[in-house]
Amino acid sequence: MPRWLLTAPFAIALATALPVRAEKVDLSPEELRKTATHVVVGQITAVYSRVETNGDWRYTHHIAEVRVAETEKGDGLKKGDLTYARYWQKQWVGRGKQPPDTSGHRGLPNQGETIRIYMARNAYDGFGTTNDGGFNVIGANGFEPVKAAGK
């Protein structure tokens, strides 16, 4: 009997037993830059969060306060400016199996970190389109750590 016939039932059982997630695929740095209306490097001076439950999901909405060190793309932001970048995560809190869906942004920044942020203003942000004038971080991986000089 072929070896694959012996292992096939195990592989099928394992595949059907694991939870199904439909995470958004990371964009390459080139795709992030192309999608973004603004790209800045800056230090996170504060992070503000708000949690809400809507149906079977718990959403955490974040705003990072960023002191701009350098603007790589986009108009209106310059060195020393303070800007705010919005991002979110969600967690399944419902009963039963979690349906396929994304959990939001990944690689979230911490206060004090210097990062590159790919943002969209009045444009597609990787999840949808907003037109309210705020900066949304490109989803799901629009934060890029910046290594300090000499490290």
Domain ranges within the chain, ordered by starting residue: 28-145
Average pLDDT over residues 124-135: 96
Yes or no: say if 65 and 42 are a contact pair by the CB < 8 Å rule. no
Instruction: Please give the Cα distance from 26 to 139 (Å, whole number).
Output: 8
Query: What class does CATH assign to 28-145?
Result: mainly beta
Quote the pLDDT of residue 121. 98
Quote the pLDDT of residue 4. 46
> Does the pLDDT at position 20 exceed 70?
no
Quote the pLDDT of residue 44. 98
Yes or no: say if 142 and 124 are a contact pair by the CB < 8 Å rule. no
Quote the pLDDT of residue 147. 81
Number of alpha helices (DSSP H) and beta strands (DSSP E) in the chain: 2, 6
> Does the pLDDT at position 61 exceed 60?
yes
Is the pTM above the cut of 0.85?
no
Average pLDDT over residues 105-133: 97
What pLDDT band is residue 151 in, cutting at 50, 70 and 90? low
Report angle CA 29, 111, 135 to the nearest 5 degrees. Answer: 50
> Does the pLDDT at position 24 exceed 50?
yes
